[in-house]
Amino acid sequence: MVTYTTRAAIPHAIVFINDPIMIIDVPENTGAGPALSTRNCVTIWTQHEDEGEVELSISDEPPPAALVPAFSGFIEVENGRIAYNNSSAGEILSADVTSGIVPIEIFVDQMPIAEVVFCRVPLTEA
């Protein structure tokens, strides 16, 4: 079991969680809610880069007890990698996962504007 974590200032106050190599379907209106998804992308509202950094984690471990569920479902991954990306498709943090339809859970410290985002997926070794 492993957890990858980083801190980043998030432009436009939204992160995209998806396979960083594949062409994705972004939710039609990312302003419609704090956690939205398509078959291959999950978006999460975060605090804006002007307000400070956001802690982002990808893990196959259970989330810290203080976090609350924001999303639970499945995500399509074609290239065996999942990542947090910013609104310019810039990769922030990534990890190896199995290709195919992957279970995914997202937890945050608070809704609707998260300062901590924790993505739980079944990881594979690089």
Summarised one tens digit per residue, pLDDT across range 117-126 is: 999 999 997 5
**Residue 56 CB-half CA count within 13 A:** 26
CB under 8 Å to 50, separation ≥6 — which residues? none
Digit-coded pLDDT (tens) for 77-90: 999 999 999 999 89
> What values do phi and psi take at 83, rounded to 5?
-150, 155
Token duo for residue 48? 């804006």
Say how far residue 79 (Cα) sits from the centre of its chain.
16
The residue among 74, 75, 67 whose CA lies nearest residue 110 is 67
Mean pLDDT of 103-125: 95
Q: Give whole-number Cα distances, 117 to 25, 59, 100, in Å.
A: 21, 11, 23
Report the C-alpha gap between 8 and 50 in whole angstroms.
11
